[in-house]
Amino acid sequence: MSEKTNKLRELPLDELRKQLNDAREELMKLRFQQATGELTDTSRLRHTRRHIARLLTILRERERAGEGGMA
């Protein structure tokens, strides 16, 4: 695993959700910039999508771990 992923795994649940919301807002802004022709660094779209996927994966892992512990 990368250092970035390990650092995200150490964050509290609230911070992960906040980062997810921020990343989704950033993706929306980037898409708007791309549509209007203002976006020059298109790699930011891919980076942001992957960051969102990484956050969702970590959130889902925690959710499953919590459910597994209760059963």
Give pLDDT, residue 48.
Answer: 98
Which CATH number describes the domain made up of 3-70?
Answer: 1.10.287.310
**24-63 core/surface letters (b: 16 or more CB in 10 A; e: else):** eebbeebeebeeeeeeeeeebbeebeebbebbeebeeeee
d(CA 47, CA 41) in angstroms, rounded, equals: 11
Contact status, residue 45 vs residue 23, Cβ threshold 8 Å? no
Model pLDDT for residues 7-46, shown as the tens digit of each residue:
999 999 999 999 999 999 999 999 999 999 999 999 999 9
d(CA 30, CA 8) in angstroms, rounded, equals: 23
